[in-house]
Amino acid sequence: MQNGAQIEYDYSIAKAFTFATILFGIIGMTVGVILAFQLAFPALSNLAGEYGTFSRLRPLHTNGVAFGFSLSGIFATWYYVGQRVLKVSLKESPFLMGVAKLHFALYFLTILLAVVTLLSGITTSKEYAELEWPLDLLVVVWWVLWGVAMFGMIGIRRERTLYVSVWYYMSSFLAVAMLYLFNNMEVPTYFVSGTGSILHSVSMYAGTNDALVQWWFGHNAVAFIFTTPIIAMIYYFLPKESGQNVYSYKLSMLAFWGLMFVYLWAGGHHLVYSTVPDWMQTMGSVMSVVLILPSWGSAINMLLTMKGEWGQLQTNPLIKFMVMASTFYMLSTIEGPIQAIKSVNAIAHFTDWIPGHVHDGVLGWVAFMIMSALMHMAPRMYKREIYSKSLLETQFWIQTVAIVLYFTSMWIAGITQGMMWRAYDEYGSLVYSFIDTVEVLHPYYTIRAVGGLLYLVGFFMFAYNMYKTATAGRVLTKEPVNASPMGA
């Protein structure tokens, strides 16, 4: 390619992962809403036999949202952002294009097989690591393929400086590779004993060691799927959409290295008051509190990027989504460390305050950022303006109300649970039975279910808007530089 010539980026892989993001988002979130209504109205668990029970659907929901929706969004944005910040097109390398296509095909196959196996009750029963060993091997293959595509593009780049977003994407690849391999070491029992299902396996760890490795993995799955790649997105898409430079590049790098060092040590806060050594529990709590600094460093950097340009919130719904995502990130990353403090954890652990914390992060931070990123990409990928600005605005307010309903109801439910479980009479006996807490929480479970349903309605609005943008949006003659053009 001649110097100065316009690079023709190839968005075919980004488009494929965008489709997967929407598909798995619909599946994962729909199952989540069903589960929420089952908790409020238990009779709903009997509608589809064993395949409609909470125990079958819950892994489908968590995996569908975490590894279907979120990972698809991460891959879609990488294959878009990576080309643009590295100034290289995938089509320039037939090898890297082949790797990227194989990455998508094997990934899509894995998620479909995950749906079938989890619904069938084939699971390791390890949180966030339910897939059995054949699927684990598939995951390793396409994760390595992503790494080959990523570092291959970095190797042939024209832009010598690695923009901060690339650092965050690289950290996700490297950390998850390490975490996934160690946590999913397992022995297929059929090949050892000659009996039972060929798909069954047992962990190579046992007891407390298993718990330690599991939550080293579990919490860092949150770190390197729900945090670092989403920060990578906002560091690219917020400046691009707003036309503003990142407020402080130095702060972005300081926060990056802070997250890298501290996050890996925080998983012990999941095991407070367990058989894990006390010093590990304390270290998990302390590191979780320290984690506020790099987390808020990133979030404040994002918000200060809009300094002097807050008027864009009134005119651009994508800026609304991104700023609200940053706000929910701040909320979630102060709430988590508070819950990790031992005295607070004594009340919070095992209660609904925990899913309340998880969901204000996933729904408000992760999903808002992925949806706004894909919506920013759409006019550039499909060369059409966004179909409907008013639909985006409506979606934003419906989903924001939905999140508030969700996490406030779960805060109240969780703290109520924690206090009722710890209530003793003058004889040292528990004041309340378990069923007493269940009955008290019913209205809050109903509110949570309604909030989830509203969020799902908003997601269908997003899916429709993306579809209409790709097929019926007004054709653009040139690529927008900053703010994405939108129809009425």
Going residue by residue through the chain, which has 488 residues, state the pLDDT in tens, using 9 for 90 and above.
444 458 899 999 999 999 999 999 999 999 999 999 999 999 999 888 899 999 999 999 999 999 999 999 999 999 999 999 999 999 999 999 999 999 999 999 999 999 999 999 999 999 999 999 999 999 999 999 999 999 999 999 999 999 999 999 999 999 999 999 999 999 999 999 888 899 999 999 999 999 999 999 999 988 999 999 999 999 999 999 999 999 999 999 999 999 999 998 999 999 999 999 999 999 999 999 999 999 999 999 999 999 999 999 999 999 999 999 999 999 999 999 999 999 999 999 999 999 999 999 999 999 999 999 999 999 999 999 999 999 999 999 999 999 999 999 999 999 999 999 999 999 999 999 989 999 999 999 999 999 999 999 999 999 999 999 999 999 998 999 888 989 88
Question: In 3D, which of 425, 438, 234 has the Cα closest to residue 330?
Answer: 234
Quote the CA–CA distance of 369 and 300 in Å, as a whole number. 16
Question: In 3D, which of 334, 167, 362, 328 has the Cα closest to residue 246?
Answer: 167
245 by DSSP, 3-state: which? coil
Question: In 3D, which of 118, 135, 17, 116 has the Cα closest to residue 76?
Answer: 17
Helices H / strands E in the chain, number of each: 19, 2
202 by DSSP, 3-state: which? strand
Quote the CA–CA distance of 351 and 413 in Å, as a whole number. 8
DSSP designation for 45: G
Please give the model's pTM, rounded to 2 decimal places. 0.96
- Using CA of residue 115, residue 117, residue 120, residue 124, what is the dihedral sign? negative
Quote the CA–CA distance of 69 and 63 in Å, as a whole number. 9
Check residue 3 and give its pLDDT: 46
Query: C-alpha 121: how far from its chain's center?
Result: 24
Quote the CA–CA distance of 138 and 57 in Å, as a whole number. 22
Check residue 4 and give its pLDDT: 43
Quote the CA–CA distance of 421 and 298 in Å, as a whole number. 37
Quote the CA–CA distance of 476 and 485 in Å, as a whole number. 9
Quote the CA–CA distance of 217 and 414 in Å, as a whole number. 25
391 by DSSP, 3-state: which? helix
Check residue 5 and give its pLDDT: 58
CB-CB neighbours of 382 under 10 Å: 19
Check residue 147 and give its pLDDT: 98
- Give me the phi and psi of 110, to 5 degrees please: -60, -45
Half-sphere exposure of residue 261, counting CA atoms within 13 Å on the CB side?
9
CB-CB neighbours of 374 under 10 Å: 25
Check residue 290 and give its pLDDT: 96
